[in-house]
Amino acid sequence: MAELTLVRHGQANTGAQDEESYDRLSELGHRQAGWLGDYLRQTDPFERIVSGTLRRQIETARGLNFGDLTHEQDARLNEISYFDMAYALRDSHGLPLPQSQTAFAAHVPQVLEFWKKGEIDPRIESYDSFRGRITEALQDAADHGLRTLLVTSTGVIATLTALALGLDMPRKSKMFLAVGHTSLHKFQLRDGDIHLMQFGATPHLDLPERREARTFV
């Protein structure tokens, strides 16, 4: 039985309209990563850290300041192609791009539903392909045998949570919107099944002076 800890990257460039603009940590995102690193070094030391290859994931992993711990990268931990899907659905179905956090919360379930049904530009990674690569990444990390921290993104964490709990797409969409920046999530792999052990913990932000530092979008 292997237990793995996943963390979402710190707050990125909120309000961006494309992947390139979004893919960097905000000033708060850097602070969130530093606070998480301080907490983990004191309470839950890891032997290995693996992040996706996206800039916001790499910056978060480095911002943890785990000293001499080797930082590896695995593209299988990268996020879904949300912006590509959003623009594709705008062009094919007239679905407007969200211009506010409220609009984004309404937009995500629609995008994910089209994606799951395969009703989206075939050049974009399919749901089945995405699910396959992230479960393989989780299994490979477990097989490595070391206490591993995986730095990834909302779509990865929400999908693994949905698989563990048997959630349909509407309920998965709610999980997608509930994954806070630098939140901790623990999964166990037992007999080929994924089990959720912890979701959305933010102990490094549970101080009165850091309550405003909890962010989701």
pLDDT digits (tens, 9 = 90+) for 81-114: 999 999 999 999 999 999 888 999 999 999 999 9
Domain span at residue 196 reads 6-80+125-210
- The predicted structure's pLDDT at residue 39: 97
- C-alpha 159/C-alpha 173 separation (Å) is 9
- The predicted structure's pLDDT at residue 1: 67
Place of tokens 């563990």: 164
Local structure of 189: helix, strand or coil? strand
Asked, for residue 34, whether it belongs to a domain, the answer is yes
Per-residue pLDDT averaged across 161-172, rounded? 94
- The predicted structure's pLDDT at residue 195: 97
- In the predicted structure, residue 33 carries a pLDDT above the cut 80: yes
Instruction: Count the domains in the chain.
Output: 1
Domain holding 184: CATH number?
3.40.50.1240
Query: Encoding tokens for residue 55?
Result: 């800039």
- The predicted structure's pLDDT at residue 23: 95
Buried b or exposed e, range 79-114, using 16+ CB within 10 angstroms: bbbbbbbbbbbeeeeebeebeeeeebbebbbbbbeb
- C-alpha 207/C-alpha 205 separation (Å) is 6
Please, are residues 153 and 123 in contact by the beta-carbon 8 Å criterion? no
Q: DSSP letter at 129? A: H
Per-residue pLDDT averaged across 207-217, rounded? 94
Asked, for residue 103, whether it belongs to a domain, the answer is no
Asked, for residue 102, whether it belongs to a domain, the answer is no
User: What does the pLDDT look like over 2-15, one tens digit per residue?
Assistant: 899 999 999 998 87
Asked, for residue 90, whether it belongs to a domain, the answer is no
- In the predicted structure, residue 197 carries a pLDDT above the cut 70: yes
Q: Is 41 left (phi over 0), alpha (psi -120 to 50) or beta?
A: alpha
Percentage, residues of the chain above pLDDT 90: 83
Q: For the chain, what is the mean pLDDT?
A: 94
Q: DSSP letter at 12? A: B
Asked, for residue 191, whether it belongs to a domain, the answer is yes
Per-residue pLDDT averaged across 109-137, rounded? 95
- Note the Cα 204 to chain centre separation in Å: 18
Asked, for residue 189, whether it belongs to a domain, the answer is yes
Asked, for residue 66, whether it belongs to a domain, the answer is yes
- The predicted structure's pLDDT at residue 18: 84
- Note the Cα 50 to chain centre separation in Å: 13
User: What does the pLDDT look like over 42-74, one tens digit per residue?
Assistant: 997 899 999 999 999 999 999 999 988 889 999
Per-residue pLDDT averaged across 28-41, rounded? 97
Asked, for residue 101, whether it belongs to a domain, the answer is no
Per-residue pLDDT averaged across 115-124, rounded? 94
- In the predicted structure, residue 161 carries a pLDDT above the cut 70: yes
- C-alpha 82/C-alpha 155 separation (Å) is 9
* Angle at 181 (CA atoms; ends 162, 111), nearest 5 degrees: 50
